[in-house]
Amino acid sequence: MPYYRLKDLIKAIRACKTAADERAVIQKESAAIRTSFKEENNDARHANVAKLLYIHMLGYPAHFGQIECLKLVASNRFADKRLGYLGIMLLLDENQEVLTLVTNSLKNDMNHSNMYIVGLALCTLGNISSPEMARDLCAEVEKLLGSTNTYIRKKAALCAMRIIRKVPELQENFLSRAKSLLNDRNHGVLLTGTTFITELCHQSPEALQTFRKAVPLLVRHLKSLVTSGYSPEHDVTGVTDPFLQVKILRLLRILGKGDSEASEAMNDILAQVATSTESSKNVGNSILYETVQTVMEIQSETGLRVLAINILGKFLTNRDNNIRYVALTTLNKTVSVNATPVQRHRNIILDCLRDGDISIRRRALELAFALINESNVRVMTRELLAFLEVADNEFKQGMTTKICLAADRFAPNKRWHIDTVLRVLKLAGNYVREEILSNFIRLVVLTTELNAYTVQKLYSALKADISQESLTLAGIWVIGEYGDVLLKGGSFEEEEIVREVTESEVVDLMESILAGPYANQVTREFVLTALMKLTGRFTNSVVIQRIQAILEKFSTSIEVEIQQRAVEYSNLFKFESIRPAILERMPAPEIKDETNTNRPTDDVAATGSVRTNDAGSLLDLVGDGPSNSGKAVEAKKTVDILEDIFGNVAPTTTQANTASTISSKKDDIMSLFDIPNSKTTAAAGNKATTVLGAEPVNPTNSLGLLDLGLSSTTTTTTAPIPPQSNLFPQPLPAQRPATSGSTTTTATPIPTQSNLSPQSLPAQRPATSGLDFALQTPAAQSYTAYDKDGFKITLDPSRDANSPNVLNIMVTFHNVAVGSQVQNLLFQAAVHKSQKLQMQTPSSTNIAPGSTATQLIRTNVRLRLRIVYETSADTKIDEITEFNGFPEEVW
C-alpha cells in the first residue's frame, strides 16, 4: 500500500535492508504518486510533490512531477508556491522546454505584494534562467534592483548576475543600478552588490573603467569594517563581517590591477587590514590571504609586498596543513616577482620538506628549487640532497634533474659541480634522466684538469655500489676513457679516493659488473666497449689477453647487439696498426646553448629544464617522462613527416619541413653525404671529430668503435689522416652498420700505410668531396613512377659527376589531363634507413594544364613516394606508391 505521508515514506525507506528492497518501495510509491496525479487530487498534490522531491534526492527518476510543480506555483498559497518553485529548481534546468510555461508565473510573482513570494521568483530565475527567460524578465529584475526593500534588492542583484552571464549584452541595463548598490548601508545588499559588480568587471572592460571611480567608496566601506567595534549581527569570532571584507578585497584586486592611481588609493587600507587582522582564527587568516592576493596583484608599494610575503611566512608556521599549503602555493607564484623577501623564510620552507603531508612536501620542494641562486646554492643543494636520500620514489626523478641543472647553472667551481652530480648518482642513480647523464659525461670530458679526480671517485663509488644504473654507466664510460689516468693515482684530500689501482683490479671491477645482478643489455654494451677502450690504455699483455678472452666469451651471446660488438672487437685485434687510432679518447664535444620555452608544471616529478628570473634564481624546471630526453624530443619534432607515414625511414629534407629543421641546409647535406663541417670540427692531434649540431654526449645510446656514447644526432667521426695522398679507406672485417633508429655514422679508420691501392680494397663508396650538385646528362630513358587521374610523374636518373655512387634523379610533374590547375603540390620520398636521400625545392607547386614542374632528388635506391595535391575543382589527391624501376645499368 502507498505511504501517504512523507514521514512514513522516509521511515519505510530507512527500514529497507537491501538496495532491492529500497527500489521496490520507491517504485511502489512512485506508481501511487502517478495515479494520484492522474486523478487530479489537489489535496494530495503538495504531499506527493514533497515525496517526489525526496525520491529525486535519493537519485531515482522524478521527472513526471514537473507539471505538478507548475500547478503548485500557480496556487495562491505561499506553502504551495514555495514547494512548487523548489521542485522547479530541482527537476528542471534551462534546457527544458517546460520551462517556458514558468515565465508568466515568474513575472506575476515578481510584482506580488508579498516580498517573500517575490524572493521565491527571483531565486528561481537566478538558478535556472535560460537566455530567453533572461531577456523576457530583464526589465522586471532591473526594476526590483531599485526597490526600497533590502531583501528584494539583495535577491535581485544575484538574479541580475545570472542574467548577464546568460546574455552579456544586457549588462548595460544594470550599470546605473549597480552603482547605487555600493551606497547601501545594509551588509547583505553590499555583499550581493559587490559580487554583482565583480561579475560586471569580469565581463566588460568598459564596466571595469566605470567602477574604478568607486575605489574610494570601497576603501571607506572596508575601513569601517576594520575599525568598527563589536556588532552582534555581523560578528564572526571577533571579526566584523569577514564575508563582506573578502568580497571587497577581491573587487579591489580587480580594479587595482594595471592601474597605478587605483592601486595608490588602496595601499593604506591594505596595510591596515594586514596589520590589524587577528591571525589566530581561520576567519582572520582568510582575510589576510585575500589581502596578500590583492597586494601581489595590484601595483602596490615594495614595503607592502614585503609585508604580504611575511604574512605568508607566518602561515608556514601554522599547524593547519591547509593554511601551510595555501602559503606555499602563493609563495611559488610570488617568488618570480619578489625572490629576496621569500629568501628570508628559506629555513621554514626547508623544514616543510620533512612534513608528513605529501602535498606539503611537494609544494615546499618546488619552492626550494625556485629559491636557488648563486649565493645559496651550496646550502640549498646540501639540504635537497639530504631530502633526496629519504624522498619518495615519485620525487626522485624530478629532484635529480633539478639538482643537476641547478648545479650546472650556479656551481661555484667545477669540482663542486662534479661532486654534486656524483652524490646524486650515488643516492638516486636509477632515477637520473638520460640527458642529465649525458651532461655529466660532457662535463667530465671538458674538465680535463679534474679527470684523474673524477675517474678515481667513480672507481671508488663502483667498488662500493653497482646498484645505481646511471652511476654504473657513468663510471664505466669514464674508466674506459681515462683508465690510464686512473692507474697513475693522485693526491687528494678525500680518504675514499683510491691512490693506486692496478690494471687487473680494473678488469676485475668490470667483470663483477657483468656478473652482478643489476647488469642489463645497456650495461653489458658499455662494459664491452670500455674493456675494448682499455686495451688501448693498458700495457700489460696478460691483462689485454684477459680482456680479449672476455670479449670472445660474449661472441656467442643471445643478445644480437652484444654478440655483434664482441665479434667486431675481437676481430679488431687482428689490425694492430689501426687499433690504437680507433681507441683514442673522445674529444670534448661543443656545448650547444639550450633555450627553454616550456611552462612550469606543478608536479615536481615531471621536470627537466631551467628558467631563471632577473635575479638569477632557479624558478622552474620542466620536461617529460623518464625515457625521453629534451634532445630526443627536440630531434623528433624535426624528423620528416615521412617517418610517421612510412615508418622508420631515413630523414629527408623537404619543402614541408625546411623551416623547422635545426641545422642549416648546408649541415643537412653534409650529414647526408658524410662531409665534415669545418665550423663544428674539434681537432685532437691528427684526429678530427665532427659533431653536427653540437649535440652533447649521450652515453646511453648505441656505442660505436670510436664512440663510448655519442647522442643519436647526426655525427661523423674520422680517424687520423696521414699526410700521404692516394690512400683509400680500408673497411674493418664484419663492419657493423649504424644502429637501427640512429643516424650516427662512424667513418672507417684510415691506416697509416701508404702502399694501398684501390684494387686491393673491397668495393666501397667514398664520401662526396664537395657540396656542388654537378649533374651529368640525364639518361636517355625516363621512368614513370606515377600515372593516375591525368597526373604523371617521371624520373630521369643520372650519376653525380663528383660522386659516382650518388644518383641524381630529376623528377618531372606533368599535368596531362587533370582538367584543372594542380595546386599546393607536395611530393615526398622515403628510402630505407640504410640509405640516404636529399631533396631540393620544386620549381613550382602549381601546375597549369599541359605544363610541367621539376624537383631534384639525390639518393643512393628504391623509393617510396607520397603525392599530395589539390585541383581547382576542390578535389584533393593523397597517394602513396613505390618505385623500384631503375635498371642495374643506371647504377
Banded pLDDT at 158 (limits 50, 70, 90): very high
Q: Cell numbers for 763, please give them.
A: 668495393
pLDDT tens sequence across 184-194:
888 999 999 99
Find the angle CA(600)-CA(602)-CA(604) to the nearest 5 degrees.
95
Last residue of one domain, picked from the residues 709, 729, 760: 760
Count of domains forming the chain: 3
Which of 32-41, 349-358, 404-413 shows the lowest per-residue confidence on average (mean pLDDT)? 32-41
Q: Are the beta carbons of 800 and 858 closer than 8 angstroms?
A: yes
Q: Are the beta carbons of 440 and 407 closer than 8 angstroms?
A: no
Residue with more model confidence, 750 or 181: 181
In a domain, 824, yes or no: yes
Given this model, what pLDDT does residue 608 score? 34
Residue with more model confidence, 166 or 628: 166
Given this model, what pLDDT does residue 668 score? 39
Which of 187-196, 292-301, 622-631, 817-826 shows the lowest per-residue confidence on average (mean pLDDT)? 622-631
Tally helices (H) and strands (E) across the chain.
36, 16
**Polymer length of the chain:** 891
In a domain, 553, yes or no: no
Q: Residue 795 carries which side chain, given as an amino acid letter? A: L
Q: Is the pLDDT of residue 346 over 50?
A: yes
Banded pLDDT at 152 (limits 50, 70, 90): very high
In a domain, 367, yes or no: no
Q: Exposure string (b/e) for 344-374, b if CB count within 10 Å is 16 or more?
A: ebbebbbebbebeeeebbbbbbbbbbbbbbe
Q: Is the pLDDT of residue 516 over 60?
A: yes
Last residue of one domain, picked from the residues 58, 91, 124: 91
Given this model, what pLDDT does residue 171 score? 87
Given this model, what pLDDT does residue 749 score? 39
Q: Is the pLDDT of residue 670 over 60?
A: no
Which run of H or of E encompasses 843? none
Residue with more model confidence, 381 or 804: 381
Spatial neighbors of 622 by CB under 8 A, at least 6 apart, are: 596, 598, 599, 600, 601, 606, 607, 608, 609, 611
Identify whether residues 808 and 710 lie together within a single domain: no
pLDDT tens sequence across 283-330:
899 999 999 999 998 888 888 999 999 999 999 988 888 999 999 999
DSSP H helical segments within 411-494, as ranges? 414-428, 434-446, 451-464, 469-481, 483-488
Q: Cell numbers for 277, please give them.
A: 587582522
Given this model, what pLDDT does residue 679 score? 35
Q: Is the pLDDT of residue 485 over 80?
A: yes
pTM of the entire predicted model? 0.60
> What is the secondary structure of 446-462 as a DSSP string?
H-GGGHHHHHHHHHHHH
Given this model, what pLDDT does residue 861 score? 57
In a domain, 295, yes or no: no
Spatial neighbors of 146 by CB under 8 A, at least 6 apart, are: 153, 177, 180
Given this model, what pLDDT does residue 549 score? 92
Identify whether residues 748 and 791 lie together within a single domain: no
Q: Is the pLDDT of residue 336 over 90?
A: no
Which of 160-174, 750-764, 778-792 shows the lowest per-residue confidence on average (mean pLDDT)? 750-764
Given this model, what pLDDT does residue 862 score? 63
Q: Cell numbers for 859, please give them.
A: 639518393
In a domain, 497, yes or no: no
Q: Is the pLDDT of residue 506 over 70?
A: yes
Identify whether residues 753 and 788 lie together within a single domain: no
Q: Cell numbers for 707, please give them.
A: 664512440
DSSP SS3 for 168:
helix
Q: Are the beta carbons of 752 and 577 closer than 8 angstroms?
A: yes
CATH number (domain holding residue 809)? 2.60.40.1230
CA distance 62 to 82: 18
Given this model, what pLDDT does residue 603 score? 40
Identify whether residues 65 and 3 lie together within a single domain: yes
Identify whether residues 793 and 844 lie together within a single domain: yes
Given this model, what pLDDT does residue 871 score? 81
Q: Are the beta carbons of 807 and 859 closer than 8 angstroms?
A: yes
Identify whether residues 802 and 750 lie together within a single domain: no
- In 730-790, DSSP assigns E strands to 744-746, 783-788
Q: Are the beta carbons of 424 and 437 closer than 8 angstroms?
A: no
Q: Is the pLDDT of residue 750 over 70?
A: no
Average pLDDT value for residue range 414-431: 93
Q: Is the pLDDT of residue 774 over 50?
A: no
- In 773-890, DSSP assigns E strands to 783-788, 791-799, 807-815, 822-830, 837-839, 852-859, 863-871, 876-883
Given this model, what pLDDT does residue 440 score? 92
> What is the secondary structure of 276-336 as a DSSP string?
HS--SSHHHHHHHHHHHHHHHHTT--HHHHHHHHHHHHHHTT-S-HHHHHHHHHHHHHHTT
Banded pLDDT at 629 (limits 50, 70, 90): very low
Which of 64-78, 221-235, 683-697 shows the lowest per-residue confidence on average (mean pLDDT)? 683-697
Banded pLDDT at 685 (limits 50, 70, 90): very low
Identify whether residues 798 and 864 lie together within a single domain: yes
Q: Is the pLDDT of residue 703 over 60?
A: no
φ, ψ of residue 858 to 5 degrees: the values are -120, 130
Q: Are the beta carbons of 260 and 213 closer than 8 angstroms?
A: no
484: left (phi over 0), alpha (psi -120 to 50) or beta: alpha
Which of 109-123, 184-198, 461-475, 790-804 shows the lowest per-residue confidence on average (mean pLDDT)? 790-804
Last residue of one domain, picked from the residues 692, 725, 760: 760
CA distances from 278 to 272, 283, 319 (A): 12, 8, 16
Identify whether residues 790 and 824 lie together within a single domain: yes
Average pLDDT value for residue range 701-705: 34
DSSP H helical segments within 573-614, as ranges? 579-582
Q: Cell numbers for 673, please give them.
A: 653525404
Q: Are the beta carbons of 454 and 440 closer than 8 angstroms?
A: no
Residue with more model confidence, 803 or 371: 371
Give the domain extent around 7. 1-91
Identify whether residues 742 and 789 lie together within a single domain: no
Q: Is the pLDDT of residue 31 over 80?
A: yes
Percentage of residues in the chain with pLDDT exceeding 70? Answer: 75
Q: Find cell 664510460 and name the residue.
A: 477
Average pLDDT value for residue range 25-53: 87
In a domain, 165, yes or no: no
Q: Find cell 651550496 and name the residue.
A: 378
Q: Is the pLDDT of residue 643 over 70?
A: no
Average pLDDT value for residue range 515-529: 92
Which run of H or of E encompasses 612? strand 611-612
Identify whether residues 789 and 874 lie together within a single domain: yes
CA distance 166 to 99: 15
Find the angle CA(436)-CA(442)-CA(446) to the nearest 5 degrees.
145
Given this model, what pLDDT does residue 384 score? 93
Q: Is the pLDDT of residue 769 over 70?
A: no
Q: Is the pLDDT of residue 137 over 70?
A: yes
Average pLDDT value for residue range 242-255: 93
In a domain, 440, yes or no: no
Average pLDDT value for residue range 348-370: 90
pLDDT tens sequence across 568-602:
999 999 888 888 888 988 877 665 554 343 333 33
Identify whether residues 797 and 872 lie together within a single domain: yes
Given this model, what pLDDT does residue 218 score? 93
DSSP SS3 for 717:
strand
Which of 331-335, 365-369, 772-776, 796-800 shows the lowest per-residue confidence on average (mean pLDDT)? 772-776
Given this model, what pLDDT does residue 258 score? 85
Q: Are the beta carbons of 151 and 119 closer than 8 angstroms?
A: yes
Identify whether residues 793 and 882 lie together within a single domain: yes
In a domain, 724, yes or no: yes
Query: What's the whole-number average pLDDT of the chain?
Result: 77
DSSP 710: B
